[in-house]
Structure 1
Amino acid sequence: MTTSSPERLHALDALRASALLLGVVLHATLSYFPTTGVWLIADTDRSSLMSGLFFVIHAFRMPLFFLLAGFFGRMMYRRMGAGRFALSRLKRIGLPFVSLWPIMFVAFIALFIWGMTTMYGPLPEGEAPPLNWRTVPLSHLWFLYVLLLIYPAAILTALAARIIPGADALGRAVDKLFAMLAGTPFLLVAPAALVAALVFSDSSGPIWFGVRSPDMGLLPNTPALVTFPFAFWMGWMMQRQIHVLDQLKGVWFINLGLAALATAGCFALVGFSPDLMMALSEMKKALFGLALGVAMWGFIFGFIGLFQALMNHHSPVWRYLADSSYWVYLVHLPLVVTLQIWMFDWGLPAEVKLVLILLIAMPILLISYHLLVRGTFIGWILNGRTKPVFRRK
């Protein structure tokens, strides 16, 4: 989702593109987990490295994306006003969700049947599980659904803040605290503590996955329902004083170092391979939640600072990736799963298969963007504008 603004924030554009494109890598690892029952297809060649890579990416990628959505969301809200902003979100978030979800639903039924048949032979006859508000599969489009829940709340909150006595003073106090902490690792404390509390209190799913993606049902699980709106709010508040980006730039290495240490602590507590039945003592569960919180927010603040330090300039390649990343992420999953099923029994190391999937999928996805999206009405829906497919001489 590319934001058109008078001044491009090149570093954050590149970071948002990276967060979306890392989703392709993340989903490509899923069939190579040592644990079965995690994905549509469980490859004959598996590796703990694949599940470890998934864990690291999963720990921070979507909270980072929601923070950036909040940052760019406030930027557009201030420029457009509440009414135009709401309409733009319906076009660029709501329309892709309602138009793509039925396609993905049918595609995944077909891929599930193909995958199960590939692994186990012909499927026995039986009734499909009931489809209701608790079981409706949102697939990887869940982030659009959650954004559609967040944006109305953000608009109403922004409008209410204009008339609620004391709201301005509270906002200035939060701004001051944010700015005071942004140049230090102490900015991690409150977000990490929130993640720790959410993980510790959650008993509804495998703890290894930490904050689980709310990809099943219309009511997100509690950790997701709090974590992603909170990240959005952090981005919204950060945009109120953009100078904090430079403060994060000064401590990126500290934040990433803390994230790396915390990730190592997570692996020490739960291992590299997801155990779907894992039960931790209360002490270990609390430690895991805290380590996950530090890893999540250390990576988020660290990568914001790193990209500010290295990527805060115009790059034609990164600008193109920023424009194309939304489309690539929306449509990548059926192609990735198709390649996973196709390579199921090739007898190659899991790491080699992962590289092959990316080498095949990414060119197809980028070519489809260039020919089908960039200069068409789809590009207007997704990116707010169309761009020439080929340069004029």
Structure 2
Amino acid sequence: MDMAHLSPGTTPERLHALDGVRAGALLLGVLFHASLSFLPGGQIWVVRDAPSDALGMFSFVAHIFRMAAFFLIAGYFGRMLLARRGPGGFVRNRLVRVALPLLVFWPIVLAGIVATFVWGAATMAGGSLPPGPPPPPPTLATFPLTHLWFLYVLLLFYTAALAIRALASLVDRPGRFRGGIDRGMRALSATPAAPLFLAAPLAAALAVRPDWHAWGGIPTPDTGFLPNMAALAGYGTAFAFGWLLHRQTGLLEQIRRWWAVQLAAAILLSIACWVQLASVPASAPMPAGSTRTLFACLYALAVWTWTLGLTGAALRFLTRERPGVRYLADASYWIYLMHLPVVMALQVAIYPVAAPGLAKWALVCLGAFLILVASYHLLVRHSWLGRWLNGRKLPWRGSAPVLETHKA
């Protein structure tokens, strides 16, 4: 991250911590997607392998917070970049670092995903591809954004943030409204009750969604160019909170202060959600009425207690520069962009092996990280790809890299 422009309260130590949260959320996505072929229930992935209840619980809990935490940090770093470079520089940077990777890497990963699905179908059918009609052509509503949907949604949030900022500068010249927002943020962060307010939009969106499969949490907006309302409410609130947090970076101290309370609440809420899901089949939508409303509230609260708790814990314990953590943080963007075809190919390759699901999942994760980290080190870190994705090309030997905030 570039330290040339730090707003008051944004110390290098805090930036190390926040970048660790961003990188951790992306790297956790590799472990999450590696677990999907081992979930109990019907086939939802490239192959249906040996089921594992432990991986089912891991997948459920990891999906609660990983992308909400990512979008909170993206909002914070987004406004930091805007403050440093101005609107024009911000737009140019986001086009290069977010829009262009989406356009370039999408066809590459989609080709890999299609190939592994074909391979997986043939493997599960005994070696030959089962007969079936070809998939229908994509439409605006069914376009497969794949796991790169997060880049597309980020672009939508950036556009909305710039538009709201421009409107506010026109209609709120004295700054009274913005001052009220800042006071609200201070009140919100002063107590550990912040999740009660932040969770409300997501809880409402989930409670009114008739086809909500609660086992999947926030419905992933990976299909179509109009994200679903629950994803917009959940991730949009996280992005907005991070954006407004950068207006008063001293509030990071309040998030750090309450980390233990938030994580304790997150664990209890996750247990409550898991217990309530025991009677709901994974393939069935959550029943309407008070059952769905209660679960929506519990789940939304879990999203925010996990997100604030983990962010606060990082601000408490992850403020010191560590070479290994720095390396993985630098690699995380590339790893997440390219991981899905690699993970899926390994899942198909290991499918015929007779072993417990947990052991096979560990092998898939290990193999994926070895391949992805090696490809980062050999192809990206010291090349023009590194300059494009991370803002710098590092020499093969030399001083430690400077922290860079302008990744996705």
SS of 1:85's partner is helix
The 8 Å contact of residues 371 and 389 in structure 1, kept in 2 or not, is answered as no
**Any runs of at least 4 consecutive aligned residues in structure 1 with deviations exceeding 4 A, and if so which?**
none
> 1:8-46, CA deviations, whole angstroms, 9 ceiling, x for partnerless residues?
311111111111100001000000011123111111x11
The 8 Å contact of residues 42 and 283 in structure 2, kept in 1 or not, is answered as no
Instruction: Tell me the residue number matched to 1:71.
Output: 76
Which has the higher mean CA deviation after the structures are superposed, 62-71 or 167-176? 167-176
| Residue 312 (structure 1) aligned with residue 319 (structure 2) | yes
The 8 Å contact of residues 255 and 299 in structure 1, kept in 2 or not, is answered as yes
Where structure 2 has 5 or more consecutive residues not aligned to the other structure, the ranges are: 5-10, 400-408
> 1:84-109, CA deviations, whole angstroms, 9 ceiling, x for partnerless residues?
10010000001100001111121111
Shift of 1:68: 0.4
> 1:168-204, CA deviations, whole angstroms, 9 ceiling, x for partnerless residues?
2222222222222314221111122222111101123
| Residue 206 (structure 1) aligned with residue 213 (structure 2) | yes
The 8 Å contact of residues 212 and 224 in structure 1, kept in 2 or not, is answered as yes
Q: How many residues align?
A: 389
User: Partners in 2 of 1:236 and 1:266 — Cα distance?
Assistant: 29
Shift of 1:156: 1.9
| Alpha-carbon RMSD | 1.7
CA spacing shift, 1:272–1:171, aligned 2, 3 Å: farther
The 8 Å contact of residues 15 and 307 in structure 1, kept in 2 or not, is answered as yes
Query: In structure 2, which of residues 2, 7, 11 is the aligned counterpart of residue 4 of structure 1?
Result: 2
Shift of 1:281: 4.2
> 1:121-174, CA deviations, whole angstroms, 9 ceiling, x for partnerless residues?
422152322211111111110001111111111112222222213672222222
Which has the higher mean CA deviation after the structures are superposed, 82-91 or 102-111? 102-111
The 8 Å contact of residues 331 and 376 in structure 2, kept in 1 or not, is answered as yes
The 8 Å contact of residues 76 and 243 in structure 2, kept in 1 or not, is answered as yes
User: Partners in 1 of 2:130 and 2:354 — Cα distance?
Assistant: 24
User: Partners in 2 of 1:272 and 1:97 — Cα distance?
Assistant: 39
Shift of 1:389: 2.8
Instruction: Tell me the residue number matched to 2:241.
Output: 234
User: Partners in 1 of 2:279 and 2:318 — Cα distance?
Assistant: 32
Instruction: Tell me the residue number matched to 2:7.
Output: none
1:182 corresponds to which letter in structure 2?
Answer: S
The 8 Å contact of residues 40 and 112 in structure 1, kept in 2 or not, is answered as yes
> 1:188-225, CA deviations, whole angstroms, 9 ceiling, x for partnerless residues?
11122222111101123423212111011111111112
1:55 corresponds to which letter in structure 2?
Answer: F
User: Partners in 1 of 2:299 and 2:286 — Cα distance?
Assistant: 17
Query: In structure 2, which of residues 54, 74, 99 is the aligned counterpart of residue 94 of structure 1?
Result: 99
SS of 2:175's partner is helix
User: Partners in 2 of 1:358 and 1:275 — Cα distance?
Assistant: 24
| Residue 32 (structure 1) aligned with residue 38 (structure 2) | yes
1:189 corresponds to which letter in structure 2?
Answer: L
Query: In structure 1, which of residues 95, 120, 127 is the aligned counterpart of residue 134 of structure 2?
Result: 127
User: Partners in 2 of 1:21 and 1:167 — Cα distance?
Assistant: 43
**Identity rate of aligned residues, in percent?**
39
Instruction: Tell me the residue number matched to 2:115.
Output: 110
Shift of 1:274: 5.8
User: Partners in 1 of 2:3 and 2:99 — Cα distance?
Assistant: 21
User: Partners in 2 of 1:181 and 1:389 — Cα distance?
Assistant: 46
CA spacing shift, 1:279–1:297, aligned 2, 3 Å: closer
CA spacing shift, 1:267–1:242, aligned 2, 3 Å: same
| Residue 170 (structure 1) aligned with residue 177 (structure 2) | yes
Structure 1 residues 294-305: aligned runs within 5 Å? 294-305=301-312
SS of 2:199's partner is helix
Structure 1 residues 160-199: aligned runs within 5 Å? 160-165=167-172, 168-199=175-206
CA spacing shift, 1:77–1:244, aligned 2, 3 Å: same
Instruction: Tell me the residue number matched to 2:155.
Output: 148
CA spacing shift, 1:167–1:68, aligned 2, 3 Å: farther
CA spacing shift, 1:385–1:167, aligned 2, 3 Å: farther
CA spacing shift, 1:235–1:279, aligned 2, 3 Å: closer
TM-score by length of 2: 0.92
User: Partners in 1 of 2:43 and 2:185 — Cα distance?
Assistant: 42
The 8 Å contact of residues 48 and 272 in structure 1, kept in 2 or not, is answered as no
| Residue 286 (structure 1) aligned with residue 293 (structure 2) | yes
| Residue 48 (structure 1) aligned with residue 46 (structure 2) | no
Query: In structure 2, which of residues 11, 20, 26 is the aligned counterpart of residue 14 of structure 1?
Result: 20
User: Partners in 1 of 2:229 and 2:188 — Cα distance?
Assistant: 27
Shift of 1:312: 1.0
2:26 corresponds to which letter in structure 1?
Answer: L
| Residue 248 (structure 1) aligned with residue 255 (structure 2) | yes
CA spacing shift, 1:325–1:223, aligned 2, 3 Å: same
1:25 corresponds to which letter in structure 2?
Answer: L
The 8 Å contact of residues 280 and 286 in structure 2, kept in 1 or not, is answered as no
CA spacing shift, 1:186–1:279, aligned 2, 3 Å: closer
Where structure 1 has 5 or more consecutive residues not aligned to the other structure, the ranges are: none
CA spacing shift, 1:161–1:279, aligned 2, 3 Å: closer
2:154 corresponds to which letter in structure 1?
Answer: L
Instruction: Tell me the residue number matched to 1:58.
Output: 63
User: Partners in 1 of 2:51 and 2:70 — Cα distance?
Assistant: 29
The 8 Å contact of residues 214 and 220 in structure 1, kept in 2 or not, is answered as yes
